[in-house]
Amino acid sequence: MIPELGHFALIVALALALAQVAIAFTGARTGNSALLATVRPAAIGQFVFVAGAFAALAYCFVTSDFSVLNVTQHSNSKLPVNYRFAATWGSHEGSILLWALMLATWTFLVAAVSRSLPERFVARVLGVMGLVSVGFLLFILITSNPFERLLPAAAEGEDLNPLLQDPGMVIHPPMLYMGYVGFSVAFAFSIAALLEGRLDAAWARWSRPWTLAAWCFLTVGICLGSAWAYYTLGWGGWWFWDPVENASFMPWLVGTALIHSLAVTEKRGTFRSWTVLLAIMAFSLSLVGTFLVRSGVLTSVHAFATDPRRGIFILLFLVLVVGGSLTLFAWRAPRVGLGSGFGAVSRESMLLANNVLLAVAMSAVLLGTLYPLFLDALGMGKISVGSPYFDAVFVPLMAPAIFLMAVGPVASWKRAALPELWVRLRWALGVSVVAALAVPFMRGKVTPMIVFGIWLGFWVITATCAQVIQRLHGSPQPTLGGKIAAQSRSWYGMVLAHLGIAIFILGVTLVKGYETERDLRMSPGDRVTLAGFDFAFKGTKQLPGPNYSVVQGEFEVSRGGKPERVLYPEKRTYPVSGQTMTWAAIDTGVTRDIYVSLGEPVGDGAWGVRVYHKPFVDWIWAGCFVMALGGLFALSDRRYRLRKQVTEAATPAAASASA
Amino acid sequence: MRRLAFVIPLVVFIALAIFLAVGLTRDPREVPSPFIGKPAPSFKLERLQEPTMAFGPAEMKGKVWMLNVWASWCVACREEHPVLVEFSKRNAVPIVGLNWKDTRESGLKWLDRFGNPYALSVFDGDGRVGIDYGVYGAPETFVIDRDGVIRYKQIGAITPEALDEKILPLLKSLGA
Amino acid sequence: MKRLAWTLLFAAGLAFGQASEIAHPDPAVEARLKALAEELRCLVCQNQTIADSNASLALDLRNEIREQVAQGKSDDEIRAYMVARYGDFVLYRPPWKSTTLLLWLGPFALLAVGAGVFAATVRRRKRESAGASESPAAERRTRAEVEALLED
């Protein structure tokens, strides 16, 4: 009964989405207030039914209803309840329903929260989002129905892939999808603006919080995916430039350019066409990513089971949405006209450089990801493009952008003087160079890449500190507390986000430069030393688990003779799928991770063992979280809390000072 | 001129979409063989049924023949096998089997059970000869001409269609 | 140094490849094996290196590399061995060839294009900034319009 209700809810949602589209565009065109008043309820109704369908599927999973094919294929009654719930999105059908739910959620938020925006504009926005919803709901109903029945029902399920039986599975996909899909809002705002022929600072101000929110979610989503891969795959890697990873990274790169571009459009009224194009590109890349992951054109560990019919549908949808929006852009954007001018050295020009560099970096990732496909399609053979390529190409492209990231905030709008910039930043530069040379020397290993990475990370930190000091110093408030309170959250958001990137860069540089590992065979009683830590292998024992059986090893870790902790790496065998997974034991610390995993038993109680020391690896994810935190700060800036803005006697001068 | 610049994103996207569409017709996991048109690597392996006797591709010089990689644990090989058995009855070309990463016992049992289309089979237990031929899965089949040059590689099971459309015409053109 | 361990993270993982798949690993050989294997593709896997994969073919290829390293073969020779058998597909670092020129040079060509776009835009804006740009009064008016709009 519930599965049928869920299926029915999807059909109703599709009908409501169609209504939403029709009413929205008709209402916007004619200005009919009755129609315009119905758009929001239609959108909210659509959300209710998509949410209902999702709840129905989740219910089937949690109650282990094996008369539903999807549940049988991807779950098991012995699975702990949190993983039974997460298994709802553990398949193509379930995860595309999650996509639709996220889209419906953003639609709901736009419908509910944007009361102070012009009605016709909001109608167009909801109309565009409705079109996307129609596409996805049709896709689900025609090619990927998660409610398909299996009759007679199976007695037991085939179990969720053991790799996915992890807390990461519970949180990474929802976060990621909230981000991906969230760019549809910025996209819809852009299309609505193009349709209306109005692209101005007000429009940018409206778009910014939505884009920031999506960006925060995507940052966290990618970060979680990386951390999950790190502790899950057993050899300490955290980014593989896998096509699916790239599919999430490209929207992030463009999204980052977008938030900066929106800032310029809001403050200075320029970059309007750029901003619109970036908004279209960000969401287009989300859609392209969806295509790549589910169509079978690329091989990836993350790819879902494929079906050419699905690939064709998504491609058609892609052509309609992206082709349509780029056509609209080519037609309408030239009329928008240029905004105010700026000098060759100015904050605008640096932000323009930032836009260009991020777009080029994204194109490079796209080129590398799709190149094997290009060659194969042209019949020119098969090649592989992996980490060695991306690492070689991406870093040189991003480095200038990061360098500028520290300079931009210090430069004035419209016209900045190089000598002045030099005076403001020379100490910061000096300190960063010293650090770049000192740190590698102290650690005992100096390579050009390490020096460069440390310099870049420190440069961002020192230049940002210089910026903060100068800003507070120049603030008219009498006390330090007053000065700090006077700066906008938006500005603090920027500072935090930039520092987050610096932390990330330092983490990557230090771990890649200084990580060490030992790979050896150990019998109970054997010891091994790595990076000052002693590991004593105490042997293994067998244990039962909820839906797996365990062989658990015991390693006593000590430093200088003093025992510090005990690590318990495991080998888990999942009876239903017959797979054996390795669970590494990781001791996490601010300055390093220690990582122990068991390999294969080699007889007589001896095992193959891998021990890693990874300095500062957690700074990678800490940096990402700080970035996202910065985004959150920016999002909570007072200018977006509109009611407050109106009641405060906010003067335009005060508002523009918080640039 | 400036207006033209606004069309560029659309043009780039259309090109991309065309490639993606073509990509849907390709299989990204299929690895074509670099041996087409090159001499078949030589080897010397013990025969499966007569371990004291050896075999190498040099013995087939002057004949058109097929080398079929199979294993008892390979599910797709079982699907392919009836097609091979049928084909072998025509006595068009000799088929040499390469028992790949298997045990002799399982291999022999498998042939007993499902039929033996092979003129002979050689035993490649550790898969070294397989690596030399660029084998990455079973079943795979090579068509080798009179001069010992590999002319075609079938990746995966030989279906009746593949046999009729690709292999038989090739054999004919090689003068089999 | 005092460690601030927040949690002991346990993690699922595929049984990784080569933790001592041989009885007496030689660190120098294993180091070279690792460097080579991390750039070679496992043909039967879903986008993994032969260093990371547990597949039987990956294991065989790793052993093959081990032997060749021990025999004194150079990295280039070992890579050539792999490519001769499996084609360029097996290399994660695409080779320099006429077919991959666009791949390797593309990003830098794009950078050049980007630089061109940047220069052209800045030049145009410089001209504009000398001419019409919104006067402070006009800016205040636009702001007021916006506030009014936001008020309803």
Q: Is residue A129 within 8 Å of A18, Cβ to Cβ? A: no
pLDDT at A206 exceeding the cut of 70: yes
Mean pLDDT for A191-206 is: 89
Q: Is residue A111 within 8 Å of A44, Cβ to Cβ? A: yes
pLDDT digits (tens, 9 = 90+) for A116-133: 889 999 999 999 999 999
pLDDT at A308 exceeding the cut of 90: no
SS3 at position A579: coil
The phi, psi pair for A75, rounded to 5°, reads -145, 180
pTM of this prediction?
0.90
pLDDT digits (tens, 9 = 90+) for A37-75: 999 999 999 999 999 999 999 999 999 999 999 999 999
The phi, psi pair for B55, rounded to 5°, reads -150, 145
pLDDT at A253 exceeding the cut of 60: yes
User: At A529, which helix (H) or strand (E)?
Assistant: strand A527-530
A136 or A336: which carries more pLDDT confidence? A136
Contact yes or no for B16 and A370 at CB 8 A: yes
Contact yes or no for B20 and A373 at CB 8 A: yes
pLDDT at A288 exceeding the cut of 60: yes
Interface of C with A in 90-129 (CB under 8 A): 90-95, 99-100, 102-104, 106-107, 110-111, 113-115, 117-118, 121-122, 124-129
| Alpha-carbon gap: A292 to the closest alpha carbon of chain C (Å) | 14
Spatial distance between the Cα atoms of B9 and B5, rounded to a whole number of angstroms? 8
pLDDT digits (tens, 9 = 90+) for A555-581: 999 988 888 899 999 888 888 877 888
The pLDDT > 70 percentage for chain A reads: 96
| Alpha-carbon gap: A434 to the closest alpha carbon of chain B (Å) | 44
Spatial distance between the Cα atoms of B25 and B100, rounded to a whole number of angstroms? 31
pLDDT digits (tens, 9 = 90+) for A599-609: 778 777 888 88
Q: Residue A517 — pLDDT band, cuts 50, 70, 90?
A: confident
Q: Report the pLDDT value the prediction gives residue C17, as an integer from 0 to 100.
A: 33
Q: Residue C148 — pLDDT band, cuts 50, 70, 90?
A: low
Spatial distance between the Cα atoms of A41 and C65, rounded to a whole number of angstroms? 65
CA C71 from centre of chain: 31
Q: Which long-range contacts (CB under 8 A, 24 or more apart) does A108-115 make?
A: A108/A43, A108/A44, A108/A47, A110/A43, A110/A185, A110/A188, A110/A210, A111/A39, A111/A40, A111/A43, A111/A44, A111/A47, A112/A40, A112/A44, A114/A206
Which residue has 């940096």 as its token pair?
Answer: A623
Q: Report the pLDDT value the prediction gives residue A648, as an integer from 0 to 100.
A: 34
Contact yes or no for A381 and B3 at CB 8 A: no
Q: Report the pLDDT value the prediction gives residue A641, as an integer from 0 to 100.
A: 63
Q: Is residue A566 within 8 Å of A556, Cβ to Cβ? A: yes
Q: Report the pLDDT value the prediction gives residue A656, as an integer from 0 to 100.
A: 45
Q: Is residue B98 within 8 Å of B68, Cβ to Cβ? A: yes
Q: Does A370 touch chain B (CB under 8 A)?
A: yes
Q: Report the pLDDT value the prediction gives residue A4, as an integer from 0 to 100.
A: 94
Q: Report the pLDDT value the prediction gives residue A655, as an integer from 0 to 100.
A: 43
SS3 at position A596: strand
pLDDT at C5 exceeding the cut of 60: no
Q: Residue C138 — pLDDT band, cuts 50, 70, 90?
A: low
Question: Which residues in chain A have their CB less than 8 angstroms from residue B14's CB?
Answer: 323
Spatial distance between the Cα atoms of A25 and A35, rounded to a whole number of angstroms? 9
Check whether the bond before B139 is cis (ω within 30° of 0).
Answer: yes
Spatial distance between the Cα atoms of B77 and A149, rounded to a whole number of angstroms? 33
pLDDT digits (tens, 9 = 90+) for C68-112: 999 999 999 999 999 999 999 999 999 999 999 999 999 999 999
Mean pLDDT for C7-12 is: 30
Q: Report the pLDDT value the prediction gives residue C18, as an integer from 0 to 100.
A: 36
Per the prediction, chain A carries an average pLDDT of 90
Spatial distance between the Cα atoms of A428 and A75, rounded to a whole number of angstroms? 55
Mean pLDDT for A577-605 is: 85
- Residue B142, CA distances (Å) to B36, B67, B87 in order: 9, 5, 15
Mutation pick from B4, B6, B11 vs chain A, by most beta carbons of A within 10 Å, is B6
- Measuring CA to CA, which residue among A640, A624, A550 is closest to residue A176? A624
pLDDT at A414 exceeding the cut of 90: no
- Residue A132, CA distances (Å) to A14, A40, A57 in order: 11, 16, 22
Question: Which residues in chain A have their CB less than 8 angstroms from residue C6's CB?
Answer: 588
Spatial distance between the Cα atoms of A226 and A172, rounded to a whole number of angstroms? 10
pLDDT digits (tens, 9 = 90+) for B19-37: 999 999 888 888 889 999 9
Q: Report the pLDDT value the prediction gives residue C144, as an integer from 0 to 100.
A: 57
Q: Report the pLDDT value the prediction gives residue A13, as an integer from 0 to 100.
A: 97
A508 or A293: which carries more pLDDT confidence? A508
- Listed by start position, the domains of chain A span 1-165, 199-386, 399-514, 519-616
Spatial distance between the Cα atoms of B171 and A312, rounded to a whole number of angstroms? 37
For residue C53 the two structure tokens come to 């994969």
**What residues in chain B have per-residue pLDDT under 70?**
1
Nearest to C44 among B101, B133, B137 (CB): B137
pLDDT at A225 exceeding the cut of 90: yes
The pLDDT > 90 percentage for chain A reads: 67
Spatial distance between the Cα atoms of A391 and A562, rounded to a whole number of angstroms? 40
CA dihedral of C25, C31, C32, C37, whole degrees rounded to 10: 90
SS3 at position B119: coil
- Measuring CA to CA, which residue among B32, B59, B37, B28 is closest to residue B122? B59
pLDDT at C19 exceeding the cut of 50: no
| Alpha-carbon gap: B130 to the closest alpha carbon of chain C (Å) | 10
Based on its alpha-carbon atoms, the radius of gyration of chain A, rounded to whole angstroms, reads 27
Spatial distance between the Cα atoms of A292 and A310, rounded to a whole number of angstroms? 11
SS3 at position A538: strand
Which residue has 């929006």 as its token pair?
Answer: A325
Spatial distance between the Cα atoms of A419 and A102, rounded to a whole number of angstroms? 49
- Measuring CA to CA, which residue among A223, A289, A215, A280 is closest to residue A250? A289
CA dihedral of A15, A19, A21, A23, whole degrees rounded to 10: 180
Contact yes or no for A116 and C52 at CB 8 A: no
Question: Which residues in chain B have their CB less than 8 angstroms from residue A374's CB?
Answer: 19
Instruction: List the beta strands (DSSP E) in A311-416.
Output: none
Chains touching chain A, criterion 3+ CB pairs below 8 Å: B, C
Q: Is residue A8 within 8 Å of A118, Cβ to Cβ? A: no
Interface of C with A in 10-69 (CB under 8 A): 10-21, 23-25, 30, 38-39, 41, 45-49, 51-52
- For the purposes of burial, counting CB atoms within 10 Å of the CB of C99, is it exposed (0-12), middle (13-18) or buried (19 or more)? middle
- For the purposes of burial, counting CB atoms within 10 Å of the CB of A556, is it exposed (0-12), middle (13-18) or buried (19 or more)? middle
CATH 1.10.260 is right for the domain spanning A1-165: no
Q: Which residues pair with A609 in a beta bridge?
A: A520, A598
Mean pLDDT for A451-465 is: 96
Q: Report the pLDDT value the prediction gives residue C1, as an integer from 0 to 100.
A: 37
- For the purposes of burial, counting CB atoms within 10 Å of the CB of B42, is it exposed (0-12), middle (13-18) or buried (19 or more)? exposed
Q: Report the pLDDT value the prediction gives residue C11, as an integer from 0 to 100.
A: 30
Interface of A with C in 417-456 (CB under 8 A): none
For residue A235 the two structure tokens come to 């050899």
pLDDT at A653 exceeding the cut of 60: no
Mean pLDDT for A478-482 is: 88
Q: Is residue A329 within 8 Å of A280, Cβ to Cβ? A: yes
Q: Report the pLDDT value the prediction gives residue A486, as an integer from 0 to 100.
A: 86
